[in-house]
Amino acid sequence: MPTGRGTRHPDTLTAREELGEAYLGAGLGDRAIAAFQRTLADRERVLGQTHPDTLAARTDLAHAYRAAGQPEKALPLHERLVADRERSLGPDHSETLAAQGNLAYAYRSAGRLKDALPVYRRTLASRERAQGPDHLDTITARGNLADACFLAGRYKEAVSLYERTLADREARQGRDHPDTITARGNLASAYHSARKLAKAVPLYEENLADCERVFGPDHPDTLTSRSNLAHAYHTVGRYTEAQAMFERTLADAERALGPDHPLTQTARENLAAATQA
């Protein structure tokens, strides 16, 4: 006779993890959290606190908390995961570095940039040491640190990091790779915030041309790039060009994305603000 597998059978736990992932993909955060909480508790009881499957379950629960907009609950899980990974695998193991990156992002999501920055710095240093300065994971880590510096208002450091990231992306992935185009846009924004407008404006123009060529005129990234250039034009007093660009961005967004899309709403607000200025 067939027998039941039980609530703590490995197949049952795997099925519950898959259910949690399905809930998460469907935007049902509370149900995903409940499924991952139960899976983690069962993994800890059956396998122990530091088994790889237990650590994976803890990671799943932390991601679910973050996705549900509860980063403060994710933080202690991420902090414990870093400690467990460092103890069992060493500080330069790829899974340890991934755990560090997740912790830094969780700090950032919780608005704790002061805590995020040293973790981002440590992750970048470890990746440079373990994987080399030109590895794609290292380039990504450098970009993540640049993003955190930008958000913290450390524009001079952000510019330096973004410049290196863009150069590395172009060398490794080519100028038209989506990651390279994103890096170019990030550098333009950093120049803008650092008041280096003579560098920001031509780079925004270059980025928009690249987006139009690679993604097409109505792609969300292209619309965002055009809006950023319009803001830059407005900042340097090129009001007529800025107004026309804001108007085009709104018209394109309404046609391509619909009147209620977040990008369309932002474009409408940008045009209204520019008109009133």
Q: Give every residue of the chain whose pLDDT is below 70, as ranges.
A: 1-8
pTM: 0.87
Task: Mention every residue, 6+ apart, whose C-beta is less than 8 A from residue 197.
Answer: 191, 232, 235, 236
Q: So what's the pLDDT on residue 17? A: 81
Q: So what's the pLDDT on residue 8? A: 65
Q: So what's the pLDDT on residue 3? A: 46
CA distances from 178 to 4, 170, 207 (A): 49, 11, 11
DSSP for 152-174, written as a single string: TT-HHHHHHHHHHHHHHHHHHH-
Distance CA 102, CA 107 (A): 9
Q: So what's the pLDDT on residue 10? A: 72
